[in-house]
Chains A and B, each alone.
Chain A
């Protein structure tokens, strides 16, 4: 009797599993797009708003893979993504020059900020130039948390160290988390360290952090997002039509208007500034 009941339970388990697997929609290959993007667009919640609108409009199914900009471009290089939404201009230019991507178009920008504990032990608050602030941090050997993951933020941070003429690699006060922006901010808050962050992620996490914005507004701190279609000539399996549709959607007037007001209700100020059609050099002036 006992075994019969057991078999019955197991059988029903199998039937139940088959039943719910039938409910999962199957998506045709040519109708799916793989979007490799930086974590900030997902963590800020922007893509949660934009993707459903795009899917409804075009019938495409978007697989959003949120990784650092560096990894997103590595995926593009191997033809494992169709379209990229990234914020690492120097690396992007190289990516285009090497023929891996086409139609790089400006989408939006916001600012990077240097954040640190509210006591600000090395007094960088209000310093106008971010490289000056970094020099101060280095000379006082104040703890600094780096992303260390080849993300857009990490390459920007390396650019600022270069501008300051300092090589912090291997220094005791310079630590790499290897984590995303949100987690790095949490580590910095716990360790009372300084770090470079994008404004969007910082604002989203601010309520749990004991970190203040110390330096902002410097021209080098501009954080610029581009959309890039992966070159189908290099990788025939890339969904070129879908990539183009997504890129066109990102620069469309409707999308740009959504970006303009995104986050205002929650944070009092927008997280991103739409820039479609502008030139990169015009930004921040």
Chain B
């Protein structure tokens, strides 16, 4: 119990003194996971919508693959991304292993199926007739897709939250492809693991609290956006 209080005290101390190391780690977490989420939104929403609106043979298999991907284990992603990015691996010429770029890549791989799966479900649950109605009113196909996406805004914002929440809290892939390098690829989760193994439980708890607060504020903003037009 003392330890937890100690950790909470430490967290506030680190926050109110603007500890440069902690600020840097926090900003980097935000930057890496934010960018990865953006990438996953671009890919996930476009492919998710496309699949939701088309019929093709083997569609059920593709959809079930995407749904499985929503639970992709981060360490497995980390392992494969590492092997691909090795100097002597297939993508070694990029030279990005143990960089924030590699972490963005791995996190985007984790978040994309989550966004894609939720998008797919969100677009599909819109009434069939809506599509016909929009087209009948003279909209082009692209305009129709845009209206459908806007119509599914609530679940799509949930997709953003799920994707971001999945990657900001993820540690397995980040530590493997980023290497937890001080001031360069050390993020909140990997720093927490390291401080735990160093026996600095108070700092580890403090980092954990900062991570939770960060996740809360991001979700608070997104929820604000999501719920704004709710009561009608």
B contact residues, total (Cβ < 8 Å): 31
A79 touching B228 by the CB < 8 A rule? no
A-B contacts, 28 of them at CB < 8 A, read A3-B150, A9-B221, A21-B31, A21-B35, A24-B28, A24-B31, A24-B100, A39-B197, A48-B182, A51-B182, A61-B184, A63-B184, A64-B181, A64-B182, A65-B98, A66-B194, A78-B88, A79-B88, A80-B87, A180-B197, A181-B197, A182-B197, A204-B198, A205-B199, A207-B199, A208-B199, A237-B87, A237-B92
A267 to chain B, nearest CB (A): 12
B199 touching A29 by the CB < 8 A rule? no
Looking at chain A, what size class is its interface with the partner chain?
35 or more
A204 touching B87 by the CB < 8 A rule? no
Say if the beta carbon of A235 comes within 8 Å of chain B: yes
Determine the chain B residues whose CB is within 8 A of the CB of A20 once the complex forms. Answer: 27, 30-31
Say if the beta carbon of A97 comes within 8 Å of chain B: no
What is the CA–CA distance of A205 and B199 in the complex, to the nearest angstrom?
Answer: 5
Chain B residue nearest to A16 in the complex (CB): B34
Instruction: Known contacts A2-B228, A21-B35; decide if A66 and B86 are in contact (CB<8 Å).
Output: no
User: What are the 9 tightest A-B residue pairs by CB atom distance, in nearest-first order?
Assistant: A182-B197, A205-B199, A65-B179, A63-B98, A237-B87, A20-B31, A43-B198, A17-B34, A180-B197
User: 8 Å CB contacts to A: which residues of B175-192?
Assistant: 179-182, 184
**B148-167 vs A, Cβ < 8 Å mask (1 yes, 0 no):** 00100000000000000000
Say if the beta carbon of B225 comes within 8 Å of chain A: yes
B172 to chain A, nearest CB (A): 14
Say if the beta carbon of A6 comes within 8 Å of chain B: yes
What is the CA–CA distance of A244 and B58 in the complex, to the nearest angstrom?
Answer: 56
Determine the chain A residues whose CB is within 8 A of the CB of B221 once the complex forms. Answer: 9
**A91-114 vs B, Cβ < 8 Å mask (1 yes, 0 no):** 000000000000000000000000
Name the residue in A24, A39, A48 with the highest tally of chain B Cβ atoms < 10 Å from its Cβ. Answer: A24
Determine the chain A residues whose CB is within 8 A of the CB of B28 once the complex forms. Answer: 24
B181 touching A183 by the CB < 8 A rule? no
**B32-54 vs A, Cβ < 8 Å mask (1 yes, 0 no):** 00110010000000000000000
B98 to chain A, nearest CB (A): 5
Instruction: Known contacts A21-B35, A79-B88, A237-B87; decide if A6 and B225 are in contact (CB<8 Å).
Output: yes
Chain A residue nearest to B198 in the complex (CB): A43
Chain B residue nearest to A181 in the complex (CB): B197
A210 to chain B, nearest CB (A): 13
Say if the beta carbon of B229 comes within 8 Å of chain A: yes
Partner among A29, A45, A64, A80 whose Cβ is within 8 Å of the Cβ of B198: A45
Instruction: Known contacts A17-B34, A65-B179; decide if A80 and B228 are in contact (CB<8 Å).
Output: no
A192 to chain B, nearest CB (A): 18
Determine the chain A residues whose CB is within 8 A of the CB of B92 once the complex forms. Answer: 237
A24 to chain B, nearest CB (A): 6
